[in-house]
Amino acid sequence: MRLLIALFTGLLLCCQVHAEVRNYDEMIAAGELKVAVYKDFAPYSFEVDGQQKGVDVELARALAKALGVRLELIWAPPGEKLDDDLRDYIWRSNPLRNQQLADLMLRVPYDQAYAQRRNELGELQNERVVMFGPYQLECWQVAHDRRRLESVASVAVFQQHPIGVEVDSVPSFYLTSVFNGMLSGKTRHYPNVQQAFAGMKAGEVDAVMAMRGEIDWQLHEAGDPEWALAENAYPNMGRQRWEIGMAVHESNRQLAYALEEALEGLIRDGTLAGIYAAYGLRYEVPPMYQ
């Protein structure tokens, strides 16, 4: 009997969760677009004194305006994997977080190989999700303090000069493993990119490696003329540039089409480039719109 009750309760909860997925007409009738953005992820989505800021927040506002609806942000603490985030905010929700599903999630990879990944049963890993609308090109970047490191001709300089990275990040794995680990002795780990830059300011490290957007933001905020962008390459790193896009539930393709049209307008008229510039970020138009 207990097993039957548990099964029935599970099925009921499942039905309730799936019922929360709104279609395009329901969203328009409600007059709001619910957008999931990552929490505390400057310069993309963050809060300062109660003010919602970031390039993804501004993009969400512009998309809602283009659709003629108001914006409701859902702040998403990142899970262990992107698959978890797509599940929790796009197609199943997480009853433990007592949160609602989003109509749209920003900052997901626009990558065919990722979208077509399959599990051990041969099923699509994210079959309930449509990933579309590339709106940013991202890459890895190094910034350095010219007072202690005049230039970065190659990553080999980090055999002698300490460099800061976020713990458990791609730069962390790269710098501790490339060239048979020769750079690991000078790689310093920090809880986040902001603290890595604080370490550079304090003289603990001579450089920081992170995503270009995060590097641009920190340089913009610091305003230190001796902090500079490096132009070095990253040998044996694999993918160094990738596209960032959006995601909706697979049943909500009508919303995806409307958002794609709105996004293209924001790219073509320079609105999106202006949003990035306001935060001190460089902006590259994704190949689809070039």
Domains of the chain (ranges plus CATH)? 17-137+243-289 (3.40.190.10), 139-229 (3.40.190.10)
Single-letter code of the amino acid located at 71: L
Q: Enter the DSSP assignment of 135.
A: E
Q: Select from 208, 251, 250 the least CA-distant residue to 227.
A: 208
Which pLDDT value is given to residue 98? 56
C-alpha 170/C-alpha 98 separation (Å) is 31
Which pLDDT value is given to residue 14? 44
Which pLDDT value is given to residue 116? 74
pLDDT digits (tens, 9 = 90+) for 90-118: 988 665 555 679 999 999 999 887 777 77
The reported pTM is 0.88
> Which tokens belong to 87?
């599940």
Which pLDDT value is given to residue 153? 95
> Which tokens belong to 200?
């550079």
Which pLDDT value is given to residue 172? 97
Which pLDDT value is given to residue 181? 96
Query: What are the C-alpha distances in Å from 52 to residues 34, 43, 79, 206?
Result: 15, 11, 21, 32
> Which tokens belong to 253?
């393709």
Which parts of the chain register pLDDT below 50?
A: 1-19
